[in-house]
Structure 1
Amino acid sequence: MRDEELLTAAAIGDAAAVREAVTEGADVEARDARRRTPLLLAAAADHVEVAQILVSAGADPNALDSQHDTPWLVTGVTGSVAMMRVLLPAGPDLTITNRYGGVSLIPACERGHVDYVREVLRTGIDVDHVNDLGLTALLEAVVLGDGSEPYQEIVRLLLAAGADPHLADGHGVTPFEHAVGRGQMRIAALLRDATGPRA
């Protein structure tokens, strides 16, 4: 019963109820029907105070649910820098991948989460990780972005962090070629300047 109360409280962001449930012995690794833990529920809804309580109680930032999400991975989807900072001291596995084979950086680039991308790149996460769709963070920013200023800034950040502009998708199309094909001329210019001849 306490476990169910903890899951519900975490999902709705009731920090007082979460603290009480944890104090009274609820399992911080309890699972709902989709195998989501209280910390994953809190992370998905960006309930930062709840996450702080759970992390202090030893909750696992790498606990996988039935969709292959973890508390850490969902921060890339929400783009919450505050949640990322709460989870980092808990020791998230930066190499863990979602159901598409991507690390947390990739969905953040897809969704245009500039502040998150800037912060997560400081963790040493693999900037050139290739997901199961054959896409890197740089490719996702171009292929799934709209070329607007947030995506331009993400491309700048990725390149500054050492992203390889030569890495093509599974069909051999480079980020530059994708940008040109989508009319993203400012991003194409950034990539052209970064590409140069191969070493």
Structure 2
Amino acid sequence: MRRGSTAALMAVAGMLLAACQASTGEPQEVGSPPPVAPVSPGKEPRSPQASPTGPASPIASASPLSPEAQARLDQQLVAAAKANDAPRVAGLIRRGGNVNAKDSIQDSAFLYAGAEGFNEVLQLTLAAGADVASTNRYGGTAVIPASEHGHVETVKILIAAGVPVNHVNNLGWTAMQEAILLNNGGPRQQEVVRLLLDAGADPGIRDPEGRTALQNAERLGFSEIAALIRSRG
């Protein structure tokens, strides 16, 4: 090849190389990684794990229980209340147990704890939203059997919680009538009657035989209770 032709080819090659470098801004070596796109100020590069379609957050909300699972949990709660097992009751409530759910004989954790004087369990059910107006299989509120049994502290708790004191159950008795008719008229019964009177219980509500609380106290020889009722007019 002639010397002039060689020089011309070298000049053309130099022009092509210069054009390639101008289009990229700077020369790149073969095998170099691709350029990284600039990040706007104040923004962090987005991680692939942060994608909306990525895995869910490790702190996920608890799934609601199925009706069958809820029913099993509620029955476990009633059983724990009947066993006066306060720590287990607390745990079952935390898991979603319903303190107003009833078993086959219409006992709820709240109603049974009130009737039997299980005060720690009772307080747990009240804190969990127990229905203070709920009734048992006899149509009675929790304060009626509590009064019958002479559970003084329990009666205080139930009155403070707002359980109605003049409710009449299916037998036709109020809490005061049961406190008189179904116990021995002793000091605990006297204190229960006093608490009920202080809470606005009406001793004039008659039983199915037409007798008032005063008449029943006198008939049964409970002179202290009779005197207490008379002192309230």
TM over 0.5: yes
Alpha-carbon deviation of 1:28?
A: 5.2
* Contact persistence 1:39–1:51 (CA under 8 A): yes
1:105-120 superposed matches below 5 A: 105-120=143-158
**Aligned match of 1:121:** 159
Alpha-carbon deviation of 1:30?
A: 0.4
**Aligned match of 1:12:** none
**Aligned match of 1:13:** none
* Contact persistence 1:102–1:131 (CA under 8 A): yes
* TM-score (norm: length of structure 2): 0.69
Quick one: distance in 1 between partners of 2:202 and 2:189? 17
* Contact persistence 1:105–1:120 (CA under 8 A): yes
Alpha-carbon deviation of 1:27?
A: 3.4
Give the root-mean-square deviation of aligned CA atoms.
1.6
**Aligned match of 2:120:** 82
- Number of equivalent positions: 167
Question: Identity, % of aligned pairs?
Answer: 41
Report the secondary structure of 1:29's partner residue: helix
Q: Give the one of 94, 114, 138 matched to 1:56.
A: 94
Matching of residue 29 in structure 1 with residue 67 in structure 2: no
Q: Give the one of 77, 83, 104 matched to 1:45.
A: 83
* Contact persistence 1:28–1:54 (CA under 8 A): no
Q: Which amino acid aligns with 2:221?
A: G
Matching of residue 133 in structure 1 with residue 171 in structure 2: yes
Quick one: distance in 2 between partners of 1:129 and 1:44? 24
Q: Give the one of 177, 200, 213 matched to 1:175.
A: 213
Quick one: distance in 1 between partners of 2:143 and 2:216? 20
Quick one: distance in 1 between partners of 2:216 and 2:187? 17
**Aligned match of 2:182:** 144
Quick one: distance in 1 between partners of 2:142 and 2:71? 21
**Aligned match of 2:139:** 101
Residue deviations 1:119-173 (CA, integer Å, cap 9, x gap): 1100111010000000000000001111100000000100001101111112210
Report the secondary structure of 1:130's partner residue: coil
Q: Unmatched 5+ residue regions in structure 2?
A: 1-64
* Contact persistence 1:29–1:60 (CA under 8 A): no
Q: Which amino acid aligns with 2:210?
A: G
* Contact persistence 1:77–1:107 (CA under 8 A): yes
Report the secondary structure of 2:192's partner residue: helix
Quick one: distance in 1 between partners of 2:215 and 2:144? 19
Q: Give the one of 89, 92, 95 matched to 2:130.
A: 92
Structure scoring higher RCO (CA < 8 A, sep ≥ 6) equals 1
Alpha-carbon deviation of 1:54?
A: 0.7
Q: Unmatched 5+ residue regions in structure 1?
A: 1-24
* Contact persistence 1:62–1:70 (CA under 8 A): yes
Report the secondary structure of 1:30's partner residue: helix
Quick one: distance in 2 between partners of 1:118 and 1:57? 29
* Contact persistence 1:95–1:125 (CA under 8 A): yes
Alpha-carbon deviation of 1:58?
A: 1.3
Q: Which amino acid aligns with 2:229?
A: L
Quick one: distance in 2 between partners of 1:131 and 1:166? 16
